[in-house]
Amino acid sequence: MKARVHVMLKNGVLDPQGAAVRHALGAMGFDQVTGVRQGKVIDLELAEGTSEADVAEMCDKLLANTVIESYSIEML
C-alpha cells in the first residue's frame, strides 16, 4: 500500500525558492513563466490497513508545517 503526500506553502506565504526558480527560468528565456510555487512530494510505503487518517496524522505531526503549509494525500 502506498500514499503520496503533496506539501505546498499556503497562499500568502512568501516562497523564496519559487521566486528564485521563476527568476532563473526568465534568465533562460522562458519569459512566459509569471510565477512559481515550489513544494515537495513525499511517497510513503505503508503497511496494509493504514488509513488516510493515519497519513493525515503523520502530516500534521511531522511531514508538513501546518502553520505555513497545506497538504493533500493520494492513497495509491
Q: What is the CATH number of the domain that holds 43?
A: 3.30.1280.10
pLDDT of 17: 96
- Domain boundaries, position 44: 2-75
Q: What is the pLDDT of residues 10-37, one digit of tens each?
A: 999 999 999 999 999 999 999 999 999 9
- For the whole model, what pTM was predicted? 0.87
Q: How far is CA 74 from the centre of its chain?
A: 12
The predicted structure's pLDDT at residue 53: 98
- Give the pLDDT band (50/70/90) at residue 64: very high
Please report, rounded to a whole number, the percentage of residues in the chain having pLDDT higher than 90.
100
Domain count, the chain: 1
* Reported confidence tier of residue 46, pLDDT bands at 50, 70, 90: very high
| Under 8 Å between Cβ of 4 and 41 | yes
Answer positive or negative: Cα dihedral of 6, 10, 58, 40.
positive
User: Quick one: average pLDDT of 45-62?
Assistant: 98
